[in-house]
Amino acid sequence: MPDDIAPTRHQRLGSNAGDPHSRLDGIAKITGAARYAADNAPAGLLWAVIAGAPVARGRVARLDTAAALAHPGVTHVITPENRPALHKDPDLRAALFDWKLDLLQDDRIRYAGAPMALVLAETAEAAAEGARLLAPEIEADPARIGFGDGLAFAAETVGIGAPPATAVGDVEAGFAAAAQVTEVEIETPPQYHNAMEPHAIVAQWQGERLVIDTPNQAIVMSRPSFAAYFGIPPENVHIRSPYLGGGFGSKAILNPAQILACLAARETGRPVKLVLSRAQMYGPTGHRGATRQSLRLGVDAAGRLTALSHHAVSATSSFDDFLEPAANAALNTYACPAISVSHSGSRWDIGTPGPMRAPGEATGSAALECAMDEAAHAAGLDPLDFRLRNYAETDPATGRAYSSKALRECYALGAERFGWKTRPMQPGQMRDARGRLLGWGMGTSLFPAPMFQAEARATLRADGSAVVETAASDMGQGAWTALAQIAAEGLGLDLAQVEFRSGDSELPDAGVAGGSGHTATAGSALYSAGRDVIAQLTALATADPASPLHGAGNRAVVAADGWLRIEGEDHRRESYAAILARAGRDALTGRGKGARDPAHAEARAMFSHGAVFAEVAVDPALLQIRVTRLTGAFAAGRIINPKLAESQLLGGMIWGLGFALQEEALHDRRSGRLLNADLAGYHVPVNADLAEIEALTVHEEDRFVNPLGVKGVGELGITGTAGAIANAVWHATGRRVRRFPIHPEDLA
Amino acid sequence: MKSFDYLRPETLEEALAALSDPDTAVLGGGTNLLDLMKLGVALPDRLVDLTRLPGLDRIETLPDGSWRIGAMVRNADLARDPGFAAAFPMVAEALLSGASAQLRNAATLGGNLMQATRCAWFQDPQARCNRRAPGSGCDALEGANRGHAVLGWTPACIAVHPSDFCVPLAALDAQVEVAGPAGIRHVPLETFHLLPGEEAHRVTALEPGEIVLALRLPAAAAAFAGHARYLKLRERTSFAFALLSAAAALRVEDGRIAEARLALGGVAARPWRCHAAEVLLESAPAAPDSFARAAAAALETAAPSGANGYKIVLAERILARALAAAAAGTPAEMPALPGSLMDDSDRETAHA
């Protein structure tokens, strides 16, 4: 381990990137000036409320639509009997990001909360009461929920179109060669995104154009999905999504409320607003599917993995196929000559799961890190030592070199800050001053560093300021700020000189705000658009005999603070405005694309990494568990905005805490309805749960991921954390709890 | 949601007259009732808002030394009232351990007493629940019931009362002042909430048309101020209902317990006063053995109503812990995490 463990300063790109700017949209948000989708109220608005199914399986025999229509203010009730035709079959998946939707196609009920009817009214209250007055008569079948009752099936794909099984090397030979084999089964429950902002849409038609205000993580990409339901060209769909109050994956996929609101608006000729209640967000808008994971780890006498198998049974709905790709966590984390991962499915009468912050990585790493802890203990090794013995110098799944990997530095920094080296090997050895049991655990964080496709436009204006445009999504992660910083950097302008336009589908496609790849993807497009402007401006200046830069030739021209100058000859400079003015141009537009260099993508494995260390205190008699310290050290390439990145990493770690100790959706056994579909019953961490928490970043330069060297920090923090906390609970109590979340009675 | 009338009476007479209508609900802070209305569990035709009635927001001491607290006093105001908190520190601690700051600012004393169980099936109008829909059955019996009752339950209902506040009140012999068509009467808080029998739908001692006017604490209850604690086991450090809680108050004379007051929360459909345990503690040394014996006696009749047998063991332990904490003396200052097992603030005692 290196002696110097102090966090390294990040190399700044220039005057903008690398600064810990506060959010540019912060004041608008805390003063209420930021307009979220549901804040829109066009004239003539109708309110829509979904009447959701009260059971998880069966059919709707009767709805009292007359009673609903008789309620003052109710204008329409749309049921399968009178639902206007859609241009696309909602049970058909035409594209990779299509989910099958319940859009009143028939009277079948496939999950609790699935739409049975849509009630429209002049007020929100009237619509809600109309929905209640429908008083459905249901022919219910028993709900099949849980791994015991679910229907097992073979997986065709996992995640978004990924293969369900992968094998490297000879796993059986690896186990045969092992000095010890550790076998672990871990269960994770259904979890729900619970974005602070409920799913909402305001839909209005202008002739054949559909204008919608809705929070959306893939603004331009989702236009065809909307358009397909109404038989209109994608460019006829205008999506406005300037702010999202959290998305976490749930706002990247269309949900039934969105299409039903658009349909109702077309049918009635009036704008329609539909806002889901908190309870209605537990069903039709995706969730993290439950998993049952089995791991086997073969370890030789030197403490090295000889074989690793990871199988996950992932729960999904009865009618669609999204499977949490949990077992893939074993593919890229630890060096091992033989790895086998596989998935199968279990069909439950629930809404279809979908991507939820670190889909697969969160559940898979929770199980893998617990299994690694058990294997380390069985081998008589410190958990960190064990991980270092199994440090992957190249990607275990592909053998490729990493584009960059500063995980060793993360281990060292995190362990030093936490004080890990004094950890006793045996559990139950530490107590705090009040006699509470203390335990320390750790986990490795790992998340892919993907890039998607994005485009951006940058326009330099006559006064030397610029406007930059791309349809990015700010989910609260800080895109309005970090992307503007990158754009300013590309243009050689101060942030204050750059107007950033975003969150609107009329702008260039920024790709999806998902996979922790938004800053890398949209940022690369913005940066290259800026560089395009600078290249054009440089050409103008160097070709103009009147410019001080004339004839600069191959000498480097530097763009900074609104001036072009020749490197090393600082007197030879000219402002952007002067160059434009002399050229008689009132604006100069550049374009840029963000995408990964295919050669690098082929040759390198690209991941963000980290190490999380947790301390828990457990009341020895009453068994209450509290995380008293969390230290994370992360390597994620260049950090554009350290303040926002830290917030992202902390948010991920806090999510990991909720995963370990709190989050769990419960279903009624008979009806299949959710029992805790609100934030009083579905616990997520509160401030008082966070005694001490720290997210550090280590320096990491990556020449391959993209020209900016940016990876991602959105999902990284959750991985590693849940396992670290579970391992700390074991270290405090000696109890291995193999079902998340860990409850006090599990320690009894 | 269902339309309803909203009335804001100016006098008690007007309020009682308004309550003669059977489909009427009483509104205080609304922190529970409005949720139940949104859920479709409460569907009143009219709401009678008591928050503007004169005099119900007062905290006062009466000539006999007892305390009278109006039904519309907000939880936060009561907990932060210096005189009240000094006289009844474990009540203040219980109040501050509950809900969140925002909810405590809105919630009223009367509303706290009248709040409904948070049993998931009670809160789901589609579920079978004898408490909400008499005779429909109890889905909790076969459901995720790790939080349900271990004392005083019947197959008709295994729900628990959610209040923190009511637990020390039951221990301290608080009386509920009730106003109704027949005038004013007093009901011991300890029996104000009804246990289920063959039926479960009647949940408090209030007769139709009656309201909670005030709460009274006897002068003698303040004698426990030096040795009184409320402890709460929960799975989130704040903003969570108790899995279990305990209120313990002692009068200690020369190392011996002169008098004890004990109640458990999270175990039954009412805050559970532990009389037998109190008797065992009288004249016993203020020592761990006495606490363990008393705690065991308190749970003697306990039985799991489902996957909650662990609560019996933990209830015994939290009682013993609360007794030990009370014996050590009331902290000089309110703990940073009131009622929390995870509090680390200083343990200087106020009155020991």
Q: What is the pLDDT of residues A37-63, one digit of tens each?
A: 999 999 999 999 999 999 999 999 999
Specify the higher pLDDT residue, B345 or A34. Answer: A34
Dist. CA B51–CA A435, nearest whole Å? 46
Q: Residue A121 above 80 pLDDT?
A: yes
Domain count, chain B: 2
Catalytic residue among A369, A455, A489, A715: A715
Q: Residue A66 above 60 pLDDT?
A: yes
Choose the final residue of a domain: A595, A614, A629.
A595
Dist. CA A626–CA B215, nearest whole Å? 36
Q: Which of A277, A625, A669 sits opposite B143 (nearest CB)?
A: A669
Residue A390 lies in a domain: yes
Inspect the interface and report whether the beta carbons of B310 and A624 lie closer than 8 Å: no
Do A446 and A487 fall into the same domain?
no
Choose the final residue of a domain: A250, A275, A300.
A275
Confidence of residue A17 (pLDDT cuts 50, 70, 90): confident
A–B: how many Cβ contacts below 8 A? 95
Dist. CA A257–CA A215, nearest whole Å? 12
Do A222 and A103 fall into the same domain?
yes
E strand residue ranges, A192-262: 200-206, 209-213, 237-240
pLDDT score for A14: 53
Dist. CA A266–CA B221, nearest whole Å? 67
Inspect the interface and report whether the beta carbons of A624 and B233 lie closer than 8 Å: yes
Chain B positions in Cβ-Cβ contact with residue A663 (cut-off 8 Å): none
Residue A12 lies in a domain: no
Inspect the interface and report whether the beta carbons of A675 and B124 lie closer than 8 Å: yes
C-alpha dihedral, B123 to B127 to B132 to B134, nearest 10°:
-170
Q: What is the pLDDT of residues A210-236, one digit of tens each?
A: 999 999 999 999 999 999 999 999 999
What CATH number is attached to the domain comprising B17?
3.30.43.10
Dist. CA B88–CA A239, nearest whole Å? 58
pLDDT score for B350: 52
Q: What is the 3 state secondary structure string of A681-715? A: CCCCCCHHHCCCEEEEECCCCCCCCCCCCECCCCC
Do A569 and A639 fall into the same domain?
no
pLDDT score for A331: 97
Residue A552 lies in a domain: yes
Q: Residue A12 above 70 pLDDT?
A: no
SS3 A142: coil
pLDDT score for B306: 98
Inspect the interface and report whether the beta carbons of B143 and A622 lie closer than 8 Å: no
How many angstroms away from the CA of A123 is the closest CA of chain B?
Answer: 10
- To test the contact with chain A by mutation, choose from B236, B243, B319, B346 the residue with the greatest count of A C-beta atoms within 10 A, namely B236
> Which token pair is A1?
């381990």
Residue of A nearest to B344 (CA): A434
Confidence of residue A674 (pLDDT cuts 50, 70, 90): very high
pLDDT score for B346: 59
The residues, ordered by sequence, that sit 6+ positions from A270 with a Cβ below 8 Å of its Cβ are A44, A45, A46, A204
Inspect the interface and report whether the beta carbons of B344 and A434 lie closer than 8 Å: yes
pLDDT score for B183: 96
Max Cα-Cα span within chain A = 85
- To test the contact with chain B by mutation, choose from A125, A675, A746 the residue with the greatest count of B C-beta atoms within 10 A, namely A675
Q: What is the 3 state secondary structure string of A45-90? A: CEEEEEEECCCCCEEEEECCHHHHHHCCCEEEEECCCCCCCCCCCC
Q: Residue A558 above 50 pLDDT?
A: yes
Q: Which of A277, A626, A744 sits opposite B342 (nearest CB)?
A: A626
Q: Checking DSSP bridges between strand A200-206 and strand A437-448, what pairing results, if any?
A: unpaired
Residue of A nearest to B2 (CA): A129
pLDDT score for A194: 97
How many angstroms away from the CA of B346 is the closest CA of chain A?
Answer: 11
Q: What is the pLDDT of residues B107-158, one digit of tens each?
A: 999 999 999 999 999 999 999 999 999 999 999 999 999 999 999 999 999 9
Q: Which of B1, B237, B239 sits opposite A128 (nearest CB)?
A: B1
Q: What is the 3 state secondary structure string of chain B? A: CCCCEEECCCCHHHHHHHCCCCCEEEECCCCCHHHHHHHCCCCCCEEEECCCCCCCCCEEECCCCCEEEECCCEHHHHHCCHHHHHHCHHHHHHHHHCCCHHHHHHCEHHHHHHCCCCCCCCCCCCCCECCCCCCCCEHHHHCCCCCCCCCCCECCECCCCCCCCHHHHHHCCCEEEEEECCEEEEEEHHHHECCCCCCCCCCECCCCCCEEEEEEECHHHHHHCCCEEEEEECCCCCCCCCCEEEEEEEEEECCEEEEEEEEEECCCCCCEECHHHHHHHCCCECCHHHHHHHHHHHCCCCCCCCCCCHHHHHHHHHHHHHHHHHHHCCECCCCCCCCECCCCCCCCECCC
DSSP secondary structure string, A610-629? Answer: EEEEEEEEE-TTT--EEEEE
Q: Residue A554 above 80 pLDDT?
A: no
pLDDT score for B345: 79
Which residue, chain included where needed, has tokens 């809705």?
A214
Confidence of residue A2 (pLDDT cuts 50, 70, 90): very low
Q: What is the pLDDT of residues A701-728, one digit of tens each?
A: 999 999 999 999 999 999 999 999 999 9
Q: Which of B237, B310, B313 sits opposite A626 (nearest CB)?
A: B237
Do A304 and A369 fall into the same domain?
yes
Q: Average model confidence (pLDDT) for chain B?
A: 96
Inspect the interface and report whether the beta carbons of A675 and B144 lie closer than 8 Å: yes
SS3 A398: coil
Task: Give the count of beta carbons closer than 10 Å to the beta carbon of residue B183.
Answer: 7
Chain B positions in Cβ-Cβ contact with residue A676 (cut-off 8 Å): 120
Residue B41 near residue B132, CB atoms below 8 Å:
yes
Inspect the interface and report whether the beta carbons of B3 and A125 lie closer than 8 Å: yes
Which residue, chain included where needed, has tokens 């702008």?
A507
Q: Which of A436, A688, A745 sits opposite B310 (nearest CB)?
A: A745
Dist. CA A502–CA A469, nearest whole Å? 6
Residue A485 lies in a domain: yes
The residues, ordered by sequence, that sit 6+ positions from A351 with a Cβ below 8 Å of its Cβ are A111, A113, A114, A282, A283, A284, A285, A286, A287, A317
pLDDT score for A11: 44
What CATH number is attached to the domain comprising B267?
3.30.390.50
> Which token pair is B73?
């006093």
Q: Checking DSSP bridges between strand A625-635 and strand A693-697, what pairing results, if any?
A: parallel
Domain count, chain A: 3
Residue A333 lies in a domain: yes
Task: Give the count of beta carbons closer than 10 Å to the beta carbon of residue B76.
Answer: 18
Do A482 and A424 fall into the same domain?
no
> To which H or E segment does residue A599 belong?
helix A598-603
Residue B190 lies in a domain: no
Choose the final residue of a domain: A246, A275, A304.
A275
DSSP secondary structure string, A532-553? Answer: HHHHHHHHHHHT-TTSTTTT-T
- Which residues of B have a CB under 8 Å from any CB of A? 1-3, 38, 40, 118, 120-121, 124, 126-127, 139, 142-144, 146, 233-240, 243-244, 310, 313-314, 317-318, 321, 337, 341-342, 344
Dist. CA A682–CA A584, nearest whole Å? 62
Do A446 and A460 fall into the same domain?
no
Confidence of residue A241 (pLDDT cuts 50, 70, 90): very high
> To which H or E segment does residue A183 belong?
strand A180-188
> To which H or E segment does residue A230 belong?
helix A223-230
| Percent of chain A predicted with pLDDT > 90 | 95
> Which token pair is B96?
């501050």
Residue B71 lies in a domain: no
B134-143 long-range Cβ contacts below 8 angstroms, 24+ apart:
B134/B199, B134/B200, B134/B201, B135/B199, B138/B200, B139/A668, B139/A670, B140/B306, B141/B305, B141/B306, B142/A669, B142/A670, B143/A668, B143/A669, B143/A675, B143/B306
Do A488 and A588 fall into the same domain?
yes
pLDDT score for A3: 38
Question: Known catalytic residue: A235?
Answer: no
pLDDT score for A71: 97
Q: Does A434 touch chain B (CB under 8 A)?
A: yes
Which whole number is the average pLDDT over A328-339? 97
Do A344 and A400 fall into the same domain?
yes
Inspect the interface and report whether the beta carbons of B313 and A748 lie closer than 8 Å: yes
Residue B272 near residue B263, CB atoms below 8 Å:
yes
Chain A positions in Cβ-Cβ contact with residue B126 (cut-off 8 Å): 54, 671, 673
pLDDT score for B351: 43
Quote the domain boundaries for residue B39. Answer: 1-52
Which whole number is the average pLDDT over A731-747? 98
Dist. CA A438–CA A730, nearest whole Å? 10
Residue B216 near residue B187, CB atoms below 8 Å:
no
pLDDT score for A460: 98
Packing angle of the helix pair A642-661, A361-378 (nearest 10 deg):
70
Residue B264 lies in a domain: yes
Do A323 and A383 fall into the same domain?
yes
Confidence of residue A94 (pLDDT cuts 50, 70, 90): confident
Dist. CA A524–CA A526, nearest whole Å? 5
Residue B234 near residue A686, CB atoms below 8 Å:
no
Q: Does A744 touch chain B (CB under 8 A)?
A: yes
Q: Is the peptide bond before B82 cis (omega within 30 degrees of 0)?
A: no
User: What is the DSSP code (8-state) at residue A21?
Assistant: P
How many angstroms away from the CA of B236 is the closest CA of chain A?
Answer: 7
Chain A positions in Cβ-Cβ contact with residue B120 (cut-off 8 Å): 666, 668, 675-676, 681
Amino acid A186 reads: I
Residue B47 lies in a domain: yes
Residue A440 phi, psi (nearest 5): -120, 135
Do A532 and A674 fall into the same domain?
no
- To test the contact with chain A by mutation, choose from B124, B150, B311, B313 the residue with the greatest count of A C-beta atoms within 10 A, namely B124
Q: What is the pLDDT of residues A423-459, one digit of tens each?
A: 999 999 999 999 999 999 999 999 999 999 999 999 9
Dist. CA A228–CA A55, nearest whole Å? 30
Residue B265 near residue B231, CB atoms below 8 Å:
no
Q: Does A585 touch chain B (CB under 8 A)?
A: no
Inspect the interface and report whether the beta carbons of B142 and A669 lie closer than 8 Å: yes
Q: Which of A669, A676, A686 sits opposite B236 (nearest CB)?
A: A686
Dist. CA A448–CA A711, nearest whole Å? 8
Q: Residue B255 above 70 pLDDT?
A: yes
Dist. CA A219–CA A240, nearest whole Å? 8
Chain B positions in Cβ-Cβ contact with residue A438 (cut-off 8 Å): none
Q: What is the pLDDT of residues B189-246, one digit of tens each?
A: 999 999 999 999 999 999 999 999 999 999 999 999 999 999 999 999 999 999 999 9
Residue B89 near residue B330, CB atoms below 8 Å:
yes
Residue B102 lies in a domain: no
| Percent of chain A predicted with pLDDT > 70 | 98
Quote the domain boundaries for residue A118. Answer: 37-141+199-275
Q: Which of A666, A670, A680 sits opposite B144 (nearest CB)?
A: A666
Do A446 and A458 fall into the same domain?
no
Residue B34 lies in a domain: yes
The residues, ordered by sequence, that sit 6+ positions from A305 with a Cβ below 8 Å of its Cβ are A297, A298, A299, A334, A335, A336, A337, A375, A390
Specify the higher pLDDT residue, A97 or B13. Answer: B13
Residue B278 near residue B261, CB atoms below 8 Å:
yes
Do A266 and A340 fall into the same domain?
no
